[in-house]
């Protein structure tokens, strides 16, 4: 456990062998969840953002740019939270303000059904500041539980409640902007999104239908798959690893890789880093979610990394997608 000063003891929830609270200057305090062997998850309070997820060999599974910038800029990599706006779909800054705010530990969250096998979890909360309310005049409580399962699986459960006292509903779009670390983007394929309709952000959000084959990557991709299945697999041939992404309450799935030209134009991203990342982002984009005062919405992201013995078409996609 990191040393806490006598004036700032760690929140009670954090006194557990599975959790560590690490203080750092400049809004970089973080919580570390520890699982079996070398499994771990790191969460920065700035952005309520997962910035690391390691398997039991201590290998990093999420991509973080070597050029990621410190607060108050959003942090390039891990799992930024896009709320209350996805992308440029509204008047707010790109992807909303939640990824750019200091979240707090939620010491006393309302009950959430827990798997008793999960010992390592933390609850965070974000409420709007006076300035946020000027930009987006809605009062809300955004609770986020981040949990590391016994087998090294990572889950993020978001609960958003409308706490407006003026009787007004509000609507928002949302995404778990997950950056996966991959060996070589040209060797990666995504299964589960074939035949889906998508909006192409590179073509003015025009609607298309994906062809029947698994998705592979040869150039920039920025698509919002609509009503995507609850399970998507990212198969990394070189690493012989498959990420299984599950989602609840989040109808859409964004797939993004900036490729070489955009990579060069991004200040907080290395020129060649596009080769080693892929974003697959469970999201609610096409149809904003509307909450009346007192109503709560729940969305869940589940991630696991399983060894895959893919070699020249041997992998059975049904097994990956349906267990
Ligand atoms: O640079 P940002 O704001 O983190 O956004 C990165 C990308 O995020 C993706 O989710 C969007 O679909 C892209 O259009 C966007 O470029």
pLDDT(5) > 80: no
**The two three-digit tokens of residue 118, written as one number:** 């999960």
Going by alpha carbons, the residue nearest to atom 13 of ligand 1 is 222
pLDDT of residue 309: 66
Q: Which of 42, 191, 273, 281 is catalytic?
A: 281
Q: Do the interacting molecules here have an ipTM over 0.90? A: yes
Q: How far is the CA of 19 from the centre of ligand 1 (A)?
A: 31
Q: In order of start, what are the domains of the chain with their CATH numbers?
A: 19-312 (2.70.98.10)
Nearest atom in ligand 1 to the alpha carbon of residue 87 is 11
User: In the structure, which protein residues have their CB atom closer than 6 angstroms to any atom of ligand 1?
Assistant: 74, 87, 94-95, 177, 201, 222, 254, 256, 281
Point out the annotated binding site for substrate: 76, 94, 99
pLDDT(161) > 70: yes
Point out the annotated binding site: 76, 94, 99
Q: Name the residue among 203, 255, 249, 210 with its Cα closest to residue 234.
A: 255
In sequence order, the 6+-apart residues with CB closer than 8 A to the CB of 100 are 46, 47, 71, 72, 73, 74, 93
Which is more confidently placed, 312 or 141? Answer: 141
What are the distances in angstroms from CA 115 to CA 128, 150, 152, 276? Answer: 30, 10, 14, 33
281 catalytic? Reply is: yes
pLDDT of residue 21: 94
Distance, in Å, from the CA atom of 312 to the CA atom of 146, rounded to the nearest integer, reads: 36
**The two three-digit tokens of residue 169, written as one number:** 């509903």
The mean pLDDT value for 283-289 works out to 98
Give the model's confidence band at 62: pLDDT under 50 very low, under 70 low, under 90 confident, else very high.
very high
pLDDT(132) > 70: yes
pLDDT of residue 314: 46
Q: How far is the CA of 64 from the centre of ligand 1 (A)?
A: 14
- Say if residues 236 and 188 touch (Cβ distance below 8 Å): yes
Q: How far is the CA of 305 from the centre of ligand 1 (A)?
A: 24
Q: Which of 177, 237, 273, 286 is catalytic?
A: 177
Q: How far is the CA of 87 from the centre of ligand 1 (A)?
A: 6
Render pLDDT for 165-215 as a digit per residue (tens, 0 to 9).
Answer: 999 999 999 999 999 999 999 999 999 999 999 999 999 999 999 998 899
């Amino acid at each position: 456990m990191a040393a806490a000063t006598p004036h700032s003891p760690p929140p009670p929830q954090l006194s557990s062998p599975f959790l560590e609270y690490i203080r750092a200057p400049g809004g970089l305090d973080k919580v570390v969840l520890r699982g079996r062997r070398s499994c771990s998850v790191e969460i920065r309070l700035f952005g309520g953002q997962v910035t690391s997820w390691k398997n039991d060999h201590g290998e990093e599974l999420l991509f973080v740019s070597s050029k990621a910038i410190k607060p108050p800029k959003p942090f390039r990599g891990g799992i930024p939270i896009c709320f209350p706006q996805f992308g440029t779909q509204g008047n707010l800054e790109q992807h909303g303000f939640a990824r750019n705010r200091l979240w707090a530990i939620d010491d006393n969250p309302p009950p959430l059904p827990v798997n008793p096998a999960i010992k390592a979890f933390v609850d965070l909360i974000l409420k709007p500041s006076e300035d946020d309310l000027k930009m987006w005049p809605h009062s809300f409580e955004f609770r986020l539980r981040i949990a590391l399962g016994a087998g090294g699986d990572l889950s993020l459960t978001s609960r958003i409640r409308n706490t407006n006292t003026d009787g007004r509903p509000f609507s928002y779009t949302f995404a778990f902007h997950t950056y996966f670390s991959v060996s070589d983007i040209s060797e990666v394929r995504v299964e589960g999104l074939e035949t889906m309709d998508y909006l192409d952000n590179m073509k003015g959000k025009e609607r298309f239908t994906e062809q029947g084959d698994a998705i592979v990557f040869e150039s920039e991709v920025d698509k919002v798959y609509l009503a995507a299945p609850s399970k998507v697999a990212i198969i990394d041939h070189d690493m012989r690893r498959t990420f299984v992404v599950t989602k609840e309450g989040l109808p859409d799935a964004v797939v993004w890789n900036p490729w070489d030209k955009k990579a060069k134009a991004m200040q907080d991203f290395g020129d060649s880093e596009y080769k080693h990342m892929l974003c697959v982002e469970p999201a609610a984009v096409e149809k904003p979610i509307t909450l009346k005062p007192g109503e709560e919405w729940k969305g869940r992201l589940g991630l696991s990394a399983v060894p895959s013995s893919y070699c020249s078409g041997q992998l059975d996609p049904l097994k990956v997608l349906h267990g």
